A = this chain, B = another copy of it.
Amino acid sequence: MSTPLNPACQNCKDRFSSIFCKADHSNLELIDAAKVCSSYKKGQVIFHEGAYPFGVYCINDGKIKLSHSGDDGREQIVRLVKAGDIMGYKALLSNERYTATATALEDSSICFIPKDLFLNVLQKDASLSFEMMRILSSELRKAELKITHLAQKPVRERLAETLLFIKETYGLEADGHTLNVRLSREEIANLVGTATESAIRLLSEFKKDGMIELEGKKIRLLDMPEIIRTANLHD
């Protein structure tokens, strides 16, 4: 949507953590030639639920949320995307419309890879498609775990897990405690699957209990109970 500058994939800082680290060199060059890199501002929508996909997006830099909008308009965040990740592959592979909306959580730089090229490379490159299956399996595993927790665990516990999940996904700032992303209380609630007020109240409780510190949108993790460890969404 703006400022295309197309950095070479080979130089991409997340080259080795992304799916494409498995791709053959020649295929990487093909992708490199065809991709279009754009930057998006915080809050901007990259693609919309219901639209037809024309390719996949690879995050060069930034953070994205993928969310469903429920029938009553409430949003449910189903995935957090970081640099090196790709998104939009689900709709592409099943040849359907997007089931989620992608919105930038901060200013981001994102490469677009056209559908035909991506599918062609996927056909030719067995290790790339194997990696793709690995990613899909992992996402499916996380989703099924989330289903179980949503059905069985109280909000308090789910919120705690969510905070740890955010930590696993985006990591911590230099101080070693602050979550390296700014989310509104509403976004946190939509990630947990609860009402905004409930999320706020429980965050206050966590703070009172000395588990976290709050400063605006900054959240610092102090003593998150170990119990959660066994049940979180790690890879």
A residues near B (Cβ < 8 Å) are 68, 70-72, 74, 76, 78-79, 89-91, 93-96, 99-100, 122-124, 126, 129-130, 132-134, 136-141, 143-153, 193-194, 230-231
Contacts and interface: CB of A to CB of B under 8 A. Distances in A.
Contacts of A152: 70-72, 74, 76, 193
5 contacts: A70-B148, A90-B137, A94-B137, A126-B129, A143-B147
A161 to B, nearest CB: 12
Nearest to A140: B140
Contact of A143 (B89, B95, B140, B231): B140
State the majority secondary structure of interface residues on A.
helix
Of listed A71, A91, A122, A133, residue having the most chain B CB within 10 A: A133
A143 B72 CA distance: 19
B78 A133 contact: no
Given A93-B134, A123-B130, A126-B123, A68 B139 contact: no
B231 A71 contact: yes
Contacts of A76: 147-148, 151-152
